[in-house]
Amino acid sequence: AQSVAQPEDQVNVAEGNPLTVKCTYSVSGNPYLFWYVQYPNRGLQFLLKYITGDNLVKGSYGFEAEFNKSQTSFHLKKPSALVSDSALYFCAVRDDRGSTLGRLYFGRGTQLTVWP
Q: Binding residues for another protein, per CB under 8 A?
A: 9, 32, 34, 36, 41-46, 49, 51, 90, 96, 98-99, 101-109
Query: Cβ of residue 68: shortest distance to another protein, in angstroms?
Result: 20
Query: Cβ of residue 22: shortest distance to another protein, in angstroms?
Result: 15
Nearest-angstrom CA–CA distance, 28 and 20 = 26
Q: For another protein, which is the closer residue by CB, 46 or 61?
A: 46
Contacts of 59 (CB under 8 A, 6+ apart): 35, 47, 48, 49, 65
Query: Cβ of residue 47: shortest distance to another protein, in angstroms?
Result: 9
Q: For another protein, which is the closer residue by CB, 58 or 108?
A: 108
Our CA angle for 55, 57, 61, nearest 5°, is: 160
Q: Give the closest residue to 23 by CA, choosing from 12, 15, 14, 34.
A: 34
Q: For another protein, which is the closer residue by CB, 74 or 90?
A: 90
Diameter over CA atoms, the chain: 48
Q: For another protein, which is the closer residue by CB, 102 or 116?
A: 102
